Amino acid sequence: MLSARAFIACVCLTIFAGAIALRIEYLNAGLGGYLPHYEGKWRFAARAAERLSQERRIRDARFQQFLETQERAPTDQELKDLLASPLIPQEITSIETRVEEQFRKDQRRASLHVWLSTAGLLQYPLSLACTVWGLCLLMSKSPRGLTLRIGAATIVVIAGTCLALAFTRDYYGSLGW
């Protein structure tokens, strides 16, 4: 016969597993369904690198516009002037906006990565243990009867869902290790 302490411990572990799954799903939804992620390494751009990338994109657009309007290759002096000309305020605002958007997205992605690499990996054995434990409670011959069976069935459903999410979202495989 299983004790009340064992049941309470199983309930607590199941709640913990459910909280982990909910947090990872919340972060994943905030990134537009990023998991499973099989594109190799996770990308986290620094603000300075992202700013340079955006400036380069604007200068390349200027160069393309020059080529389209002039229909000839620029001279060396024109090319220097084109690449060295300062950015106008609208371009600077556009760059800052894009850099901040990318930075916020990278922060959310980094948070998801941290959760996956710590609690997400814990989800596999924890959810499996809670599912098996819940099944044992469900099959036990206890004098508590219906209350225990309802609680055990709830544990099995929650822990099984957590385990299914860990496998369908491929927490381990998404880390790119």
**pLDDT top residue among 159 and 6:** 159
CB-based contacts of 13, cutoff 8 Å, min separation 6: 126, 129, 130, 133
**Lowest mean pLDDT segment, chosen from 3-12, 77-86, 162-171:** 77-86
Among 2-6, 69-73, 105-109, 160-164, the range of highest mean pLDDT: 160-164
Q: Which residue is listed with tokens 């990872």?
A: 24
- Other C-beta atoms closer than 10 Å to the C-beta of 151 total 19
Q: Is the pLDDT of residue 163 over 60?
A: yes
Domain locations in the chain?
Answer: 4-174
The pLDDT of residue 95 is 78
Q: Tokens in use for 66? A: 């020059």
Q: Could you tell me how far CA 50 lies from the centroid of its own chain? A: 20
Query: Using CA atoms, how far apart are residues 167 and 155, in angstroms rounded to an integer?
Result: 18
For the stretch 7-51, pLDDT in tens is 889 899 999 999 999 999 999 998 888 887 777 666 666 666 677
Instruction: Answer yes or no: are the C-beta atoms of 58 and 91 closer than 8 Å.
Output: yes
